[in-house]
Structures are given as structure tokens and as C-alpha cells.
Amino acid sequence: MGVARVRAWLQTARRIAVLTGAGMSAESGVPTFRDAQTGYWAQYRPEDMATEAGYRAQPGLVWRWYAHRRALLRGVAPNAGHVALAHFAQRHPGRLTLITQNVDGLHQQAGSPDVLCLHGDLLADRWLNPPRPCCHLEDSAAGEPPYCSTCGNLLRPGVVWFGEALPLAVLEAAQQAARACDLMLVVGTAGAVYPAAGLARLAREAGAQVAVLNPAPSELDDAAHAVLRGTAAQCLPALLAPADPQE
């Protein structure tokens, strides 16, 4: 009953916002934050490395830790849930806004356009200090972050570190999508981390239908008009399948 009801909402909603979390990538086998802490890396605490202060203190170490986490992603591919979201967006241009807390790049890899990455992108780099005209990349020693030989600026991973603000333009676009949507689908998030989790409440307060898809209870269940107990790769293809095979 639940899937048919939410599927009917998806088919009639003019504007859809989708908020995803780590559970979206679980069936792709994405290593969690803690999975990376094995072997040599087990001696370090992510909280000490995933911060600007930690990076400035030991840039080479932290850069090598991110290289390790990126390597762990190499064997990982989008699952049927990522693909279903991408295909729906391709069939209905401009109708679905995808907002993710994930940094694994799997929505983008599956073909979803214009993904709003609230917590950044593990596969992207950016300058540590605001770039100056001189900033261009020099090849660095293996395992060391690329840098600018003129001013010493370093590249850093393009993820949001503990204590950092979310990228403002991305957050504002996500809040706008939450306010404007007729339906918000929340997939694979515990709903414990703000401001991301607040988007579901924002959508509900603005009058949208809210549906949660999660195999386990989450902190957003009480904000939902419908809760589907299922997984992303199993349920999203059924929810998002074309109404008409010719579609």
C-alpha cells in the first residue's frame, strides 16, 4: 500500500525534492567514515583529520588519508536506486531536485544532473586559502598535496569538514527546493545532522507531502506523511518506474 501511495504522489507532483543520505549508497558497498579507519589508518581519529586545523597541521598525512578514502571508492558503483533517480530526472527535466549529504559522487556517476552536494564531494579538490591570481598547480611530491609555488597555497579535499559551514549557495538552493516542492522524498538518512535534516521539516511546513524511505526508524519519520520500510536499491526502481512504458 505504501509504495503505491507514494508512487501516485510522485506521478502527480509537479516539483519533487529528494534528500539522500549514506543509506542511499549502502547497497553500493560504499565504505563508511569508520570503514576507512583500518590498518595503518586505524591509529588516527577521523575527527582529528577531517578538520581545517588538522589539515593545516599535517597536510601530507590528511591528504594521504583522503587518497586512501578515494581509493576505497574505486571499486564502488551506483546501485539501482541511484540509476532510478537519474533516469527519472532525465525523463522529466527540471522536475526533480536532488539534494545529497553524501560525498561519494555516486548520484553524479549514475547521471543525475545538478546534484546539490550539501557536504561537498570527496572526488573534488579546492584551494585551502582563497585563490590569488598566482595560484596554479605545481606537481607535488608523491603523497603531498598539490600547491602554488608562488604563495604556498595548498589544494584541499572539496568536502565539508567538522566545524565548517555548508556551501551557502548549495544550502540556499536546497532550502528553496524544499520550500517549492509538492513532494519531498527522504532516502537513507538517519535525519540526525542539521541543517540537512531540517529540509524535510521545511518542505512539510511549506505544504509538501513528505515520504521517508528507510529500512529502520529515523528521526524524520515523525515529519513524514508516509514511511516506507525498505531499501534504496529495492524500492526506488518501483517508485520511479515510468507510468507508461513509452515514457
By CB under 6 A, the residues from 111 to 140 that bind ligand APR are: 119
CB 73, min distance to ligand APR, A: 15
Give the residue closest to ligand APR by C-beta.
Answer: 23
CB 204, min distance to ligand APR, A: 18
Catalytic status, residue 119? yes
Find the helix packing angle between 2-12 and 232-240, rounded to 10°. Answer: 50
**Minimum CB distance to ligand APR smaller for 190 or for 238:** 190
Rg (CA), the chain: 19
Q: Is 163 left (phi over 0), alpha (psi -120 to 50) or beta?
A: left
By CB under 6 A, the residues from 13 to 32 that bind ligand APR are: 21-23, 26-27
Q: Is 80 annotated as a binding residue?
A: no
User: Degrees (nearest 5) of the Cα angle 226, 229, 231?
Assistant: 120
Q: Which residues pair with 100 in a beta bridge?
A: 20, 117
Q: Is 104 annotated as a binding residue?
A: yes
Selected catalytic residue, list 68, 82, 87, 119: 119
Dihedral (CA of 155, 156, 158, 163) sign:
negative
The residues that are catalytic are 119
Query: Interface with ligand APR by CB under 6 A: which residues?
Result: 21-23, 26-27, 33, 101, 119, 187-190, 192-193, 214-216, 218, 231-232
